[in-house]
Amino acid sequence: MSGGLERLRRAVVTALNEGGLPAVAALEPEARRRWDGPVAAVSLAQIRCAPGGFQDYLGVEMDAQTGAQRERYGRAAELTLALDLYAPRSGGESACQNAMALAAQVLLTGGAAGLDVVELTSDRVEFLEREGLYRMGVRCRCAAWLVARRDAAGETFDDFEVKGRMA
């Protein structure tokens, strides 16, 4: 996963944790068993953008380390975050539903790590017999800009960042 996308995922995990919902980057089934309350496993499910690469010129910025000016380019995109909400058997189905309400509050009031939420949907709660957990899938579609900078030689792009609306 690119550095920009991983930073976005980590920022969503941090926002959910700060909002009161324990969250981690997507995890393995065995690791889910150690939680005694609801937890959200966050992953990136989809990126949609039109063909054409980083085609929109966004201007120049000063490189803080070298003092040199670097060109910035971007492209509009839509990112879909997947939140798998898990709750132990003792929490019941309502633990997933309450976790969904808390996740919705965090994502809709603060945005998904600075991105505008376009749509937030959830699946029905299911019980995973083998794991002994309740699970609810949540999808959060967000409007974003992928912003890249030219390298020092001006020949290639460095890793990109994920940003909210561009003014």
Residue written as token pair 């020092």: 152
pTM of the complete model: 0.80
Domain CATH for 141: 3.30.2000.30
* Cα Rg, the chain, nearest whole Å: 18
Mean pLDDT of 59-78: 82
Whether 27 shows a pLDDT value over 80: the answer reads no
Mean pLDDT of 46-75: 81
Determine the structural domain holding residue 114 and report its residue range.
Answer: 3-163
Percentage above 70 pLDDT, the chain: 89
Average pLDDT of the chain is: 85
The total of structural domains in the chain comes to 1
